[in-house]
Each structure stands twice: as C-alpha cells, then as structure tokens.
C-alpha cells in the first residue's frame, strides 16, 4: 500500500514540476514574438524549443524524480512513514501552488496568506 501512495506522490510532484518549468520557459519565449515577423519567430521559437526542451525532457524527469524521492524520504525519516509522506506531499504541493499562482495570476500566495487578505481568492 505504501509503495502505491509513494509512487503517486512522486509522480504527481514530477508532473507538476516539469509542467511548471516548461510553461515558464515557453511564456518567456513568447515575450519576444513582437520583435520578429510571425513566420520568422515561429521558426526560431520552434528551433529554440527543440534545442532547450529535448535535452531538458531527457534529464528533467530523472532530476525531478530524484529530488522528489529525496524530499519524500527525508520527510518520512523525520515524521514517520505515512505522516512524513503526507507532510512532504503537502509541502511540495504548497510550494508548487505558490509558483503556479505566481505564474498564472502574478499573485504572491504566501504574501496574501500572511497578510490575512484571503477573502475572495478561493
């Protein structure tokens, strides 16, 4: 049972982190689209995406999976097997939530949380 939950946690964190990183890179590249003609930018962006993402995808899954496994295992060693797994998952999801809210809405989740102005945000 624990191995299935562990695999779910690591896979979830890996998927969300990889998606966050690739979206951030894509969004950054799109900021340059007004500096070039449409077809020129499209060809250049496709080439840059291929040059950046191909090696990134080859390594990213391994890097994120290794980091996720280390975080989850360290949480398990600190707080016990199931509680540590749950705490590590919650912490990782909270951090990812922060970065997704920052990327999509330019909101500082922790700033809003600690200022007490959460009304209307959920």
Q: Is residue 39 part of a domain?
A: yes
Span 55-87, pLDDT tens digits: 777 776 677 677 777 777 776 676 677 787 788
Q: Could you list the residue range(s) of the whole structural domain that residue 93 is in?
A: 2-115
Inside any domain, residue 52: yes
Helix 38-79 with 81-105: angle, nearest 10 deg? 150
**13 located within any domain:** yes
Instruction: Specify if 121 maps to a domain.
Output: no
Q: How many domains does the chain have?
A: 1
Nearest one of 78, 56, 54, 63 to 10, comparing CA atoms: 63
C-alpha to C-alpha distance for 68 and 23, rounded to whole angstroms = 20
Residue 65 placed within a domain = yes
Write down the mean pLDDT value for the chain.
81
Q: Is the pTM of this model over 0.85?
A: no
Reported as a single tens digit per residue, the pLDDT across 32-60 is 888 988 888 888 888 887 887 777 777 76
Q: Is residue 120 part of a domain?
A: no
Residue 102 lies in a domain: yes
The residues, any chain, with a CB within 8 Å of residue 12's CB and separated by 6 or more, are: 89, 93
């Amino acid at each position: 049972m624990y191995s299935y939950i562990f695999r779910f946690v690591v896979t979830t964190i890996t998927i969300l982190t990889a998606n966050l990183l690739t979206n951030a890179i894509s969004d950054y590249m799109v900021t340059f689209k007004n500096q070039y003609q449409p077809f020129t930018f499209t060809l250049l962006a496709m080439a840059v995406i291929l040059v950046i993402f191909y090696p990134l995808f080859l390594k990213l899954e391994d890097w994120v999976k290794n980091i996720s496994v280390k975080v989850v295992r360290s949480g398990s060693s600190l707080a016990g097997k199931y509680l540590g797994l749950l705490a590590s998952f919650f912490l990782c999801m909270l951090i990812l939530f922060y970065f997704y809210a920052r990327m999509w809405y330019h909101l500082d989740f922790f700033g809003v949380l600690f200022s007490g102005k959460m009304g209307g945000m959920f």
